[in-house]
């Protein structure tokens, strides 16, 4: 009789443990659903990049077509929306240091070295430049995070001096 009771108790305990493990593993109360393990992404950061290259061109920060500005507005300063800020073209001279990666170059100026994002249209001109070549260039500043004042520099024109 005692042996039969011990067998039933062991079976019930094993069944109870299996149910408890299943309930805890499956998450009967899924409070963490949809949360990032490393924390929530910071507000204001656009994590919706194109799937082909993972790189956004300047002026395409918004999701919809209404937020994109035509290229003419960057050079002329004009636009259809008077409230939209026009991209200001900044001219400078410096020393072309070289490619950082396939999308960025480094140029040393009097203010120090800086990384400039490049588009595919500028790749032929950049490929012709030698390391440590003096250059004249134009660029725009794109605000990435307005709260922290983070800006990205986008090269619009470069030529050897």
Sequential DSSP letters for the chain: -HHHHHHHHHHHHHHHHHHHHHHHHHTSS-TTTT--TT-PPPTT------TTTS-PPTT--SSSGGGPPPHHHHHH---S-TTSPPPPPEEEEEEEEEEEETTEEEEEETTEEEEEE--GGGHHHHHHPPTTEEEEEEEEEEEEETTTTEEEEEEEEEEE-
Question: For the domain 69-160, what is the CATH code?
Answer: 2.40.50.140
Q: What is residue 77's predicted lDDT score, i.e. its pLDDT?
A: 42
Q: Within 10 A of 143 (CB to CB), how many other CB atoms are there?
A: 14
Distance CA 120, CA 55 (A): 11
State the chain's mean pLDDT as an integer: 75
Low-confidence residues in the chain, pLDDT < 50: 63-84
Q: How far is 116 from 96, CA to CA, in rounded Å? A: 11
- What does the pLDDT look like over 72-81, one tens digit per residue? 444 444 434 4
- CA–CA separation, 114 and 90 (whole Å): 14
Express each pLDDT in 81-106 by its tens digit: 444 456 799 999 999 999 999 899 99
Entry pTM? 0.48
User: Would you state the pLDDT for residue 71?
Assistant: 45
Q: Where are the domains of the chain?
A: 69-160
Taking the CA atoms of residue 123, residue 129, residue 131 and residue 134 in that order, the dihedral angle to the nearest 10 degrees is -120
The pLDDT of residue 52 is 61
The whole-number pLDDT of residue 114 equals 95
Q: What is the pLDDT of residue 109?
A: 95
């Amino acid at each position: 009789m005692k042996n039969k009771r011990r067998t039933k108790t062991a079976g019930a305990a094993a069944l109870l443990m299996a149910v408890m493990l299943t309930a805890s593993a499956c998450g009967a109360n899924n409070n963490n659903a949809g949360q990032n393990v490393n924390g929530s992404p910071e507000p204001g950061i656009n994590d919706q990049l194109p799937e082909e290259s993972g790189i956004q061109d300047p002026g395409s920060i918004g999701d919809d077509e209404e937020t994109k500005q035509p290229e003419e507005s960057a050079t002329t300063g004009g636009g259809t929306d008077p409230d939209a800020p026009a991209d200001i073209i900044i001219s400078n001279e410096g020393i072309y240091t070289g490619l950082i990666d396939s999308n960025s170059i480094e140029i040393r100026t009097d203010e120090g070295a800086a990384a400039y994002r490049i588009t595919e249209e500028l790749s032929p001109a950049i490929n012709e430049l030698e390391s440590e070549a003096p250059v004249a260039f134009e660029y725009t500043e794109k605000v990435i995070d307005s709260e922290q004042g983070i800006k990205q520099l986008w090269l619009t024109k470069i030529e050897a001096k």
